Amino acid sequence: MHATVQVGLADRSYPIWIGEGLLGQPDIWRDALRPGRPGRVVVVSNEVVMPLYGQRVLDALGSLGCQTSQVVLPDGESHKDMASLMKIFDHLMSEHVDRSATVVALGGGVIGDMAGFAAACYQRGIDFVQVPTTLLSQVDSSVGGKTAINHPLGKNMIGAFYQPRAVIIDMTVLKTLPPREVSAGLAEIIKYGCILDADFFNWLEANMQALMAGDADALAYAIQKSCQIKAQVVAADERESSGQRALLNFGHTFGHAIEAGMGYGAWLHGEAVGCGMAMAALLSCQLGQLDVPSFKRVVALIDRAGLPLQPPAWPAQAYLDWMAHDKKSAAGAIRYILLKGLGQSELRPVEDALVRLAIEASQKGLASA
């Protein structure tokens, strides 16, 4: 049994399947592949995930008569670069993979982004299927068709919008996920409650202990709810043309600056986002549009998820310089996702002087801000 969330994009709509033990089910894979094309499947994974779960994927595909091969990349955000992308292209070219093939992204957000970008580019686009194996990728990066690699000057600055044929979320893989990765995934889950759904935020406050403990029912609800929220936003604003999808980047403007400045991989993406959400909530409060009790609730929930609250002690101008490369910047102005209340958010520019105050207050400790 599994739950299904549909991403509604007309003829590019696709399902998100959520359940236990899905990776080894041939019927799931038959539905994920284009009808009449069992053919060639290239599994892209990393050196941590492939030994754990790769064989059950290959066996399920093999039972359908698929011809499979694999690309195993180094693990970590620091390898989300052009060199790793070229390794995927090298394999596709050397194996004479044609445009009827399917790429399977088996891994976390790094693998999903790179494999999806490779699929978008190879022969101008071949099918791919997302199989996220971290909590963060299950609730965020695997859904919505954003694919990219990093550049030394900015995160995810080189990429494409390219939707998968399906997303297969097997909750069994979370049993091998380190606690630090669980916390990183919870950052993206908390984000949805902050920006769009106050009732979900309330639920997270009541169930954070269960989520941290790996309770299967709590995780299943949080994953499904997060995917539903993101699917609705993506269906309404696939390419961020109206600004609605940009709200999903709450905390990311500050968080991406932390990742770039620290060096990709020093902080997990979710850790940087968690800290960035606290910074954005503080800025919202200092601007007078988020009340103090709500601000404290946001910070307390981030803290309970085991996420950092205090950003690196760089000069505020260094943050502004990194954030100037953010994709949400427009006409030279950095735009921020800010809270107007729990479950309410907006995208807007803020004067640099006010942002500096928020950065410096965050560095001193949010409790004293």
pLDDT digits (tens, 9 = 90+) for 28-38: 999 999 987 66
Q: Considering the candidates 2, 40, 80, 146, report the single residue annotated as catalytic.
A: 146
Q: Give residue 330's pLDDT band: very low, low, confident or very high (50, 70, 90).
A: confident
Q: Considering the candidates 40, 87, 245, 328, report the single residue annotated as catalytic.
A: 245
Report pLDDT digits (tens) over 137-163.
999 999 999 999 999 888 899 999 999
Coarse DSSP helix, strand, coil percentages of the chain, rounded to the nearest 5 percent: 55, 20, 25
Q: Give residue 26's pLDDT band: very low, low, confident or very high (50, 70, 90).
A: very high
Across-strand partners of 341? 344
40 is catalytic: no
Instruction: Write the CB contacts of 309 (distance below 8 Å, at least 6 apart in sequence).
Output: 274, 275, 278, 299, 302, 303, 362, 365, 366
77 is catalytic: no
SS3 213: coil
91 is catalytic: no
20 is catalytic: no
CB atoms inside a 10 Å sphere around CB 334: 19
* Mean pLDDT (whole number) for 55-83: 96
Report pLDDT digits (tens) over 243-287.
899 999 999 999 999 999 999 999 999 999 999 999 999 999 999
Render the burial of 199-213: b for 16+ CB within 10 Å, e for the rest.
ebbebbeebbeebbe
2 is catalytic: no
Q: Considering the candidates 80, 256, 327, 328, report the single residue annotated as catalytic.
A: 256
pLDDT of residue 99: 93
Q: Considering the candidates 181, 240, 259, 271, report the single residue annotated as catalytic.
A: 240
Instruction: Write the CB contacts of 117 (distance below 8 Å, at least 6 apart in sequence).
Output: 85, 147, 148, 149, 159, 160, 162
155 is catalytic: no
297 is catalytic: no
pLDDT of residue 369: 45
Q: Considering the candidates 79, 80, 230, 328, report the single residue annotated as catalytic.
A: 230
Q: Considering the candidates 40, 252, 328, 335, report the single residue annotated as catalytic.
A: 252
SS3 133: coil
146 is catalytic: yes
pTM of the model: 0.95
Q: Considering the candidates 80, 269, 327, 328, report the single residue annotated as catalytic.
A: 269
Judge whether 104 and 131 are in contact, CB under 8 Å. yes
* Percent above pLDDT 70 for the chain: 98
Nearest CA among 220, 225, 217, 223 for reference residue 196: 225
124 is catalytic: yes
Report pLDDT digits (tens) over 209-234.
999 999 999 999 999 999 999 999 99
SS3 string, 150-165, reads EECCEEEEEEEECCCC
Residue type, 328: K
* Mean pLDDT (whole number) for 48-55: 98
> For 107, left (φ over 0), alpha (ψ -120 to 50), or beta?
left
CA distances from 162 to 118, 121, 126, 154, 353 (A): 10, 9, 10, 20, 38
180 is catalytic: no
Phi, psi for 259 (deg, rounded to 5): -60, -45
Q: Give residue 39's pLDDT band: very low, low, confident or very high (50, 70, 90).
A: confident
Q: Considering the candidates 181, 188, 238, 259, report the single residue annotated as catalytic.
A: 188
Q: Considering the candidates 249, 327, 328, 335, report the single residue annotated as catalytic.
A: 249
Report pLDDT digits (tens) over 161-198.
999 999 999 999 999 999 999 999 999 999 999 999 99
Q: Which helix (H) or strand (E) holds 302?
A: helix 292-304
SS3 134: coil
Nearest CA among 113, 82, 87, 88 for reference residue 101: 88
Q: Give residue 60's pLDDT band: very low, low, confident or very high (50, 70, 90).
A: very high
Assigned token pair, 61: 């595909």
Write out the DSSP string of 75-121.
PSGGG-SHHHHHHHHHHHHHTT--TT-EEEEEESHHHHHHHHHHHHH
Report pLDDT digits (tens) over 344-362.
999 999 999 999 999 999 9
